[in-house]
Amino acid sequence: MALTKFRRKPSTVLPALQPTQNHLLAALPAGVQQRLFPCLEETPMPLGKVLYESGDKMRHVYFPIDSIVSLLYVMESGASAEISVVGNEGLVGVSLFMGGESTSSRALVQSGGTGYRLLGQRLVDEFNRHGELMALVLRYTQALITQMAQTAVCNRHHSIDQQLCRWLLLSLDRLPSNHLIMTQELIANMLGVRREGVTDAAGKLQKLGVIEYRRGHIIVLDRPQLERLSCECYAVVKRETDRLLSPLGRTANSL
């Protein structure tokens, strides 16, 4: 794939990390925030970090801030495929308050950054108060289930080109910029396809001027075109997520 000159982003001063940079935490009433925020632990979430493996007992839930976590199903052969992504719109670890202590998926950081973690029992205790936190996380869980179902449909019926567009758009919705750091090998693992297929699909997008790719850095240059090239699955997931999570104070154009 032909490489274009990589444009460096201007340096910016990043804001201090705050729990309210996660939309779920920001939407909680003041009383719930006062109970939970002192218990939150700031945690680095570097690219490639595994938060938990399939079958592990889950001790913590994670609230990403500027990172993205992929939930992957891993086969006995070691092959994997992404079933959903979690960013600053939600939390990692819904199984804990749904009655289980483990899950069949692996949680892998696909875009490095930071987040907060909370002891799972602390979240369960707050959930069992049957207050605003319970209502919010149940709506978030429904949105996550929608994403999982649509991902299964997309992987079965749509081309790698369309899947890549959907994946890029879902990632962009969970990041503060149009810049992603991700290798083609990792993208292939997420989509459950061969690396050559991702290389070909990314090359087409670059030739169209939709993205700029170099050495694991992807810059989306034309989001409207990317949305037009994507399949219907992205729009379905975004529309349902916006509907379910509107109490979290989102705008119409962001997750």
Between 247 and 217, name the one with better pLDDT. Answer: 217
Same domain, 80 and 109: yes
Same domain, 134 and 40: yes
What average pLDDT score do residues 36-64 get? Answer: 93
Q: What is the pLDDT at residue 213?
A: 86
Would you say residue 5 has pLDDT above 80? no
For residue 253, being part of any structural domain is answered with: no
For residue 85, being part of any structural domain is answered with: yes
Same domain, 180 and 210: yes
Measure CA 187 to chain center: 13
For residue 1, being part of any structural domain is answered with: no
- Domain holding 176, by residue range, is 158-233
Provide the domain count of the chain. Answer: 2
What average pLDDT score do residues 203-226 get? Answer: 91
For residue 122, being part of any structural domain is answered with: yes
- Per-residue burial over 68-106, b if 16 or more Cβ lie within 10 Å, else e, is bbbbbebeeeeebbbbbbbbbbbbbbbbbbeeeeebebb
Q: What is the pLDDT at residue 248?
A: 54
Same domain, 188 and 63: no
Domain harbouring 135, CATH code:
2.60.120.10
Same domain, 139 and 176: no
Same domain, 80 and 145: yes
Q: What is the pLDDT at residue 189?
A: 77
pLDDT tens profile 115-162: 999 999 999 999 999 989 999 999 999 999 999 999 888 888 899 999
Same domain, 151 and 204: no
Same domain, 140 and 26: yes
Same domain, 30 and 136: yes
Domain harbouring 173, CATH code:
1.10.10.10
Same domain, 95 and 174: no
Reported as a pLDDT band with limits 50, 70 and 90, residue 14 is: low
Same domain, 141 and 163: no
Residues with Cβ < 8 Å from 61, sequence gap 6 or more?
91, 92, 93, 96, 117, 118, 120, 123
Same domain, 208 and 162: yes
